[in-house]
Structures are given as C-alpha cells and as structure tokens.
Amino acid sequence: MRPRFFVPEIESVGEVVVLSLDESRHLCQVLRLSVNDEICVFDGRGSEYLARIEGVARAGATVRVVEPTVPAPEASVAITLAAVVLKGRRFDIGVREATMLGVAVLQPLQATHQTVHGPSILRRGGVTRWRRIAVAAAKQCGRAVVPEVREMATVEAFTSTDQSTLRLVLVEPGASGADAIRPRSLAAQPRPQSVSLAIGPEGGWAPGDLNRLISAGFQPVTLGGRILRAETVPVVALAMLSCLWDDS
C-alpha cells in the first residue's frame, strides 16, 4: 500500500500541488521519501489519486497528480456519532476509531453529567486536535473521506437541528423512563439513509438530557447487561451497526 497524504485542494489530474507543512514533514522526515517516489493523495471528500513526488523543500513537498485511484468504500448508511466528551484524552480514541469505522459526522456533546466542559475543551484546542486525529485516521484506514468534526453542542442544540432518518440513544439496561430495544430489533426495519447515535457520559445520561433526546424522537437502545468502559462503547456500537447493515 502506497503512503497516503491529505491534500484538500486537489482540482484535476496533471496539476502540481504543495503538501502542507505537517504532511511534508511526514513525507520527508518520517517516511524519508524522495523525488519520483509514488504516493496516494486524497481530498477528504471522497476522491483519491496516484501522485508522484516532484520536489522536496522546506516550504513543502510538491507532488504531481497522476491518475484517479479507487479508495476504500464508504458506508452505505451515513452515521452521525454524537458523543459526550470524556475526560483526559479518551475522546481522542473515540474520534480515531469512529473515523476508521466509517462515521460521516462527529458531534462532540456537552451534557449535564459531564466531567469535562466546553470552555476547558476550547482552551486545550480540543476540536482542532480532533480534526487532525480524524485526518490521520482516514490516512491510516484507506478512507478518502474525512468525517466532519463539528464544534461542541449542547444536547438541546443537537436535538433541535438533527435531521437523520433514524435516531438512536444508547442507554444502560433499566434506565429510568427508557423503553430500550436491542440492536437486533433494527434488522427488521428498512435500511435508513442516515442515523444519529447519541452516547452519554460516564455514569449515564441525566434524566433531563435523556428525556429531551427521547422527546426529539431518539429511540433508546441498549448493548446488553455488561457495563463497558466509556471509551469502548462507541467502538462496540458502531461496529455493531456496521455489521447490521453489512458495511465493511
């Protein structure tokens, strides 16, 4: 597999483009590639190309776009993962794994029961870092699409704007006020065009947040009786949905 690089401004075959400083550093200093080596470049919107290195300089490596190539297939169902941000760097893991599992949109949520809050995330450059992680994960897994990583939103703001055809909220077994189904029940329903999956904080949803989601049409879903670590839940849930709709 050829090394892959993110070049969002690709316009046509035959053009010469300059890689960003980060991508140039990876090409030159990490992979130690040189002139005439072949690489793949992708624009983050679904197009990927074979390219050839034409120059290496401090200002950035230049490559010529040679021909289109076929990237990894995208999921047939567009999934928005709306997850409450976890403390530390554990949300970084969720962004990376969700990108590799094919999500279309990542929506960081701010909820009532939350150990890290919006102002702290903004001060640490969280959203910018998550976008970089999404690019790196797309490079690694072969996707030519980089998922959209949105700005932080409250549960109320998210539910008022979400337009997915199927809306799911993960809950713990026996959650108060939630008539939860198991994921296998979704197999009997028509394949949706788009899905929003809301995942709560450590310790579960506050009643007000859960009621707001349910009132907005989110169907409670449970993964079963075992208690999973908060950073594990998105991976399990997304993999399960992928298998449900036969996406690879």
Same domain, 17 and 105: no
Number of domains comprising the chain: 2
36 with 110, same domain? Answer: no
CA pair distance 106, 95, nearest whole angstrom: 7
Block residue for tokens 């993964």? 223
CATH code: domain of residue 116: 3.40.1280.10
Residues 85 and 65 in one domain: no
13 and 99 belong to one structural domain: no
Residues 99 and 62 in one domain: no
* Residue entry with tokens 């006020």: 177
Give the amino acid at 110: Q
What is the share, in percent, of the chain residues with pLDDT greater than 70? Answer: 92
User: pLDDT tens for residues 171-193?
Assistant: 887 665 567 888 888 888 888 99
Return the amino acid letter for 205.
Answer: W
Cβ atoms of residues 42 and 3 within 8 Å: no
| Number of alpha carbons in the 13 Å side-chain half-sphere of residue 54 | 13
Contact 50, 69 (CB under 8 A): yes
**Judgement on whether residues 133 and 214 belong to the same structural domain of the protein:** yes
Boundaries of domain holding 24: 4-69
44-98 pLDDT per residue, tens: 999 999 999 999 987 889 999 999 999 889 998 999 999 999 887 889 999 999 9
Q: Which of 49, 69, 89 is the last residue of a domain?
A: 69
For residue 166, pLDDT beyond 80: yes
